[in-house]
Structure 1
């Protein structure tokens, strides 16, 4: 009888914890990727983070008026290493059209992130969120994840996982054109 009561108590604690996590993700805007997948265009949660590519901070809302490709990554992430050269190419091809690629390094060390940037010749802006506080506001569950924002800061497309296949790369290019208003 005592064992059954303990099992019920443990089950209740697990259930309550699950509900708490769900509520936190829901309240923090963690459904951004899901909303974009449904064809909605949710507002991208704003942030101000330390820059890794130079001194200072970057606030996402300061980029209003430009389309943004926001890529969540970490230096230890193998698919991130594979997609970074493509994102650099996208940045170089489209920055004169009003597109900014922003890398958001999270769950990582600054030193490792900067070494990654040097190795892959990253020239687009990169911000640092070591503890990963921004992940829940976007609903990021792993690395990499990429969001395409239009000039008003609305999410027009979300990619869970690397943008490495020809199909995903074509989809990203279409989303960029949409975000630029073309």
Structure 2
């Protein structure tokens, strides 16, 4: 597994903090590239299960996304305190997280590639992030995403998980407030 972790982290390093990349919908995948770099699986039956996303938060508390937020839409944002595009989108994420908290939507951060929690905590304090972030300095949680799924492939990446725990959408770039809302509105409306 250490070799696989190195490959994933190297790939993330190459694409880290870029302006985002376009992914194709080739092969057997059932997702389509949307405008603005957001890929969406509109057919609920074609969505893949989200992996186990559990571990310690930046505050040292245990968090199990599937168990703790069962029945909610989860917006998982992969970020690093050192990442300029992550800083650019932080206020958008905070605004939309606050606006959607009463609509059955839970935001969760996935802090990666920060060697310790201090810079990440400072980032969250600076941007007044109201939601928890899992601490994944080694990238182990990133490796849990199924191959061929809408998995995070850049920093920042944002994964949208539907109420059934399935991966519904992914963005491989910093998101605007409008892009977040356009992706979340239909997911929040699903019953």
Fold in common (TM above 0.5): yes
Structure 1 outlier segments of 4+, above 4 Å: 33-36
Q: Where does residue 97 of structure 2 map in the other structure?
A: 91
1:106-145 → structure 2 map (5 Å cutoff): 106-108=112-114, 109-138=116-145, 139-145=151-157
1:103 is paired with a residue whose SS is: strand
The equivalent position to 1:152 in structure 2, one of 143, 164, 169, is: 164
CA contact (8 A) 1:156 1:175 kept: no
Aligned residues: 150
More helix by share: 1
Instruction: Name 1:49's counterpart in structure 2.
Output: 55
Please provide the CA RMSD for this pair: 2.6
TM-score with structure 1 length normalisation? 0.73
Q: Which one has the largest radius of gyration? A: 1
1:158 is paired with a residue whose SS is strand
CA contact 1:150–1:178 (8 Å) conserved in 2:
no
- Normalised by the length of structure 2, the TM-score is 0.70
Question: How far apart are residue 136 of structure 1 and its match?
Answer: 2.6
- 1:115-152 deviation per Cα after TM superposition (whole angstroms, max 9, x unaligned): 11111111111111111112233343321000111111
Mind listing any 5+ residue stretches in structure 1 that lack a counterpart?
Answer: 1-16, 23-32
Tell me the residue number matched to 2:185: 177
